[in-house]
Structure 1
Amino acid sequence: MRVPIVHRVPVVHQQARRRRARYARLLWNGAEVLVTLGVVLLLLVVHQLWWTNRQAREGAERKVQALERQWEGEREEGEGSASHGDGEGGGGGGSGAAGGSGGPGAGSRSVPDSASTSASTPRPRWTQAYAILTIPRLGLRVPVAEGISKGNVLNKGYVGHYPGTAQPGRAGNFALAGHRNTHGEPFRYINRLRRGDRIEVETPAAVYTYVVDRTLSQTSSRDGGVIREIPRSMVRPSYGYSDPGYYLTLTTCTPEYTSKYRLVVWGKLGSMRPR
C-alpha cells in the first residue's frame, strides 16, 4: 500500500506571514489616521486664515455702509426739520442757522475746544458699533464698537474701544484694539504706519483727524500704561507722554500669529470737521 506524500508548510512560515499581514494593516490604518488628521488640520488652517477673514471683512463692510446710511438719514431728517422750522419762524430761524453754516462753527478746526467735543458722541452701548476708523495708508475702513470682547466685537472684524478711555475727539486717550491675524485682521499692518500718517475717526457729529506720532514696537500684554489718559508705557517708560492732550492709541498683538506681546501706535488729534 502506497502512502501519499503530503507537503506541509512549516508553521514558522505561516506565523511570519500572519505577522506581516498584521503589520501591514497597522501601517495602513495609521496612514489613514494621519491623512485624516492632516486634512482636518488643513481645514482648520483654511478656516482660520481665510474663511474667518472673509466673513469678518464682509460683515465689517456691511456695518460701515449701514452706519453711513443711518447718519445720512439722520442728517437729512435734521435738515428737513430745520427747513420746516425756518419757514414757520421767519427771521428767528435764520439767526439760529447762522452758527451752523458760517463763522467759527463751519469748516475744520485745527485744535478742538471743549465746547466742540463735549456733546459730539453720546455714550455708546456695550458692543455697539458707533464710529468708523479710516487709515488711508493701509486702505482700512472699519467700524469701531464699544468694548474689546472677542466674540461680540473683535472677531467680527471690528475695532474695539477700551472701556474707560476717552471717546473720539475728547481730551484724554481714545484707545482701540484690533486683531492682527484672522477675523478680518484690521490691525495687521499698523506696524507700517509712520509719523505724520493720518487716521480719521468718523462719528455722527464730526470727523476727527489724528496724526501718527510715535510707535512702540513691543511691550508686555499687561502694559496698561499705554492706554491711560496720558499714555506712557510702564514696561518701557521712555515711550509715551507726560502732558495732557488729545491722544489716539492703537494696540494689537505681536509678533504675528501670537498674543505674547503688544504693538502700540500713538497719534495726536490734529483737526476736527463737523459733519
Structure 2
Amino acid sequence: MRVPVVHQRGRRRRARYAGLLWNGAEVLVTLGVVLLLLVAHQLWWTNRQAREGAEQQVQALEREWGEGEKEEGGEWGSGSGAVSGRSDERAEDTSTADDSDPAPTRPGSGDDSRRTPAAASTPARQPRWDQAYAILTIPRLGLRVPVAEGISKPGVLNKGYVGHYPGTAQPGRPGNFALAGHRNTHGEPFRYINRLRKGDRLEVETRSAVYTYVVDRSLSQTLPGDGGVIRPVPRSTVHRQYGYTDPGYYLTLTTCTPEYTSRYRLVVWGKLASMRPR
C-alpha cells in the first residue's frame, strides 16, 4: 500500500502568494478610498466652504454699506482660473497687462463715451490687497459674489471670490475692469459663464454706485498667456480677430477651460451701459 506524500513546501509557497495578493488588494482598496475622499473634498467640501464664506462676505459688505461707514479719502470700505502676465510678489498667481501696455485712456467721441456718466471718471483709492470691496451679480446665472483685489489663489480665488486683475481699471472707470474666477472647485463662481449671451446684464456694486455692464462678445478658448484680453482696450494676441480696437469702458471675465483643467482660458467681455448712485 502506497502512503501519500504531502508536499509541505508547495503548500507554504501557495499560502505566501495568497497572503501577498491579499495584502496588495488591501493596499489598493485603501488607496481607492483615499482618492475618493480627496475627490469629495475637492468637488464638494471646498465648494461648500467657499460658497458659505463668499455669501457671508457679500452680507458683510451690504451691512457695511448700509451703515454708511466710509473710509476717509476713498471709496473702499474695510471688507476683506487667470490669464498670465506681469506677476506680483505678494500673489501666488497674479497677473496684469504687459509692461508695455498704455495706461487706461478716456474714450473718444463714440456712443459708449457719450452714455457713460461723468462720475465714472472720478478718481478713487485703490483697495488693499486681497480686500473684498465690490459685489458682482450675474442674473442669468443666479450669481452674487464678492470681488476682491488681486487674483492670488489662497488670498482670493480659493475663498470663492472673484479676483480683480491688479493694474486694470476699477468699476465704471475708463479702460478694462478685468476679473478672474474659478471654473471648478472652491466655489466655482465662473463655472457657467460659457452660458452668457450677448445682452446679458453684469452688475457691479461698490460702496458708492451700481454699474451695469452688458455682455457683448466672448472668446471660447485662448492660451493662459494671452494678456491682450485684459488690456485697457481688450484684444486677443493669440486670436487677433477677437476683441476691440477703440477705447471704452469694458468688463472682462476670465476662467479656465475645459472644465476640470487649466489648459486654456475662456473670456467674456461686456461694456458699461449705465451707472446709478447707491
TM-score (norm 1): 0.83
Q: Residues 1-275 of structure 1: matches in 2 within 5 Å?
A: 9-10=5-6, 13-74=7-68, 111-113=115-117, 115-119=118-122, 121-275=124-278
1:124-160 superposed Cα distances (whole Å, 9 cap, x missing partner): 0000000000000000000000000000100000000
Partner amino acid, structure 2, of 1:112: T
AA aligned opposite 2:5: V
SS of 1:152 mapped into structure 2: coil
Contact 1:200 1:209 (C-alpha < 8 Å) held by counterparts: yes
Residue 7 of structure 1 deviates from its aligned partner by 5.4
Q: Secondary structure at the match of 1:56?
A: helix
Using the TM superposition, give the Cα deviation of residue 237 of structure 1 relative to its aligned residue in structure 2, in angstroms.
Answer: 0.3
Residue 19 of structure 1 and its aligned partner are, at CA, apart by 1.0
Number of equivalent positions: 238
Amino acid at match of 2:43: L
Q: Distance in 2 between matches of 1:120 and 1:39?
A: 55
Contact 1:232–1:240, Cα closer than 8 Å, also in 2:
yes
Q: Is the 8 A contact 2:235 2:242 kept in 1?
A: yes
What SS is found at the alignment partner of 1:201? strand
Secondary structure of the corresponding residue to residue 148 of structure 1: coil
Q: Matches of 2:195 and 2:125 in 1, distance apart?
A: 32
Determine if contact 1:120/1:206 at 8 Å carries over to the other structure. no
Residue-by-residue CA offset, 1:7-46 (whole Å, 9 max, x unaligned): 5734xx2111111101110011001000000000000000
Cα distance, 1:110–1:118 mapped onto 2, change above 3 Å? closer
Paired AA for residue 177 in structure 1 = A
In structure 2, distance between residues paired with 1:205 and 1:42: 46
Q: CA deviation at 1:74?
A: 1.1
Contact between 1:218 and 1:261, CA under 8 Å: does it hold in 2? yes
Tell me how large the CA RMSD over aligned residues is.
Answer: 2.1
CA distance in 1, matches of 2:18, 2:123: 73
Q: After the TM superposition, list the runs of 4 or more consecutive aligned residues in structure 1 that deviate by more than 6 angstroms.
A: none
Residues 199-222 of structure 1 show CA distances to partners (whole Å, capped at 9, x for unaligned) of 000000100000000010000010
Provide structure 1 residue ranges, at least 5 long, that are not aligned to the other structure.
Answer: 77-108
In structure 2, how many angstroms separate the alpha carbons of the residues matched to 1:57 and 1:119?
33
CA contact (8 A) 1:120 1:205 kept: no
C-alpha change, 1:139 and 1:226, in structure 2 (3 Å) is: same
Give the structure 2 partner of residue 100 of structure 1.
Answer: none
Counterparts of 1:165 and 1:251, CA distance in 2: 13
Please list every run of 5 or more consecutive structure 2 residues that lacks an aligned counterpart in the other structure. Answer: 71-112
1:102 alignment partner in structure 2: none
Could you tell me how far apart the structure 1 residues matched to 2:211 and 2:69 are? 18
For 1:200 and 1:231, how far apart are their aligned partners in 2?
A: 19
Alignment CA distance shift 1:43-1:159 (3 Å):
same
Question: Going by fraction, where is helix more abundant, 1 or 2?
Answer: 1
Tell me if the contact between 1:121 and 1:204 (Cα under 8 Å) persists in the aligned partners: no
Where 2:68 maps in the other structure, the secondary structure is helix
Contact residue 121 and residue 174 of structure 2 kept, 8 A: no
Structure number with the bigger relative contact order (C-alpha 8 A, sep ≥ 6) is 2
Q: Percent identity among equivalent residues?
A: 79
Indicate the structure (1 or 2) with the bigger Cα radius of gyration: 1
Structure 1 equivalent of residue 101 of structure 2:
none
